[in-house]
Amino acid sequence: MLVIGLVVAGFSIPSIMGALADGRVPRTAAIAVLIGGGLVAIAVNNKPTGYTINQIPGVFVDVIGRYIN
């Protein structure tokens, strides 16, 4: 959930910038940020000790490696 949440939130940033540059309201991007933030919050709540910034790359590698192999 952490990886998916970070990816969804990360992909919403260009959408926010594009909407603001065009003078539109970034509704879809705001929903994506909420979904991504919710997934990250669920992932942090499911792990009692939480995550540190240094652990995030390792989590990405573990998740991607699990599905590649």
Instruction: Report d(CA 58, CA 43) in Å as an integer.
Output: 15
Q: What is the pLDDT of residues 36-46, one digit of tens each?
A: 999 999 999 99
The model scores a pTM over 0.75: yes
**Long-range contacts of 43-47, Cβ-Cβ distance < 8 Å, separation of 24 or more:** 43/1, 43/2, 43/5, 44/2, 46/1
pLDDT for the residue numbered 13: 94
Which range of residues forms the domain containing residue 47?
2-68
**Long-range contacts of 53-62, Cβ-Cβ distance < 8 Å, separation of 24 or more:** 56/2, 56/6, 59/2, 59/3, 60/3
pLDDT for the residue numbered 10: 94
Q: How many domains does the chain have?
A: 1
On the question of pLDDT at 49 being above 90, the answer is: no
Q: What is the pLDDT of residues 6-39, one digit of tens each?
A: 999 999 999 999 999 999 999 999 999 999 999 9
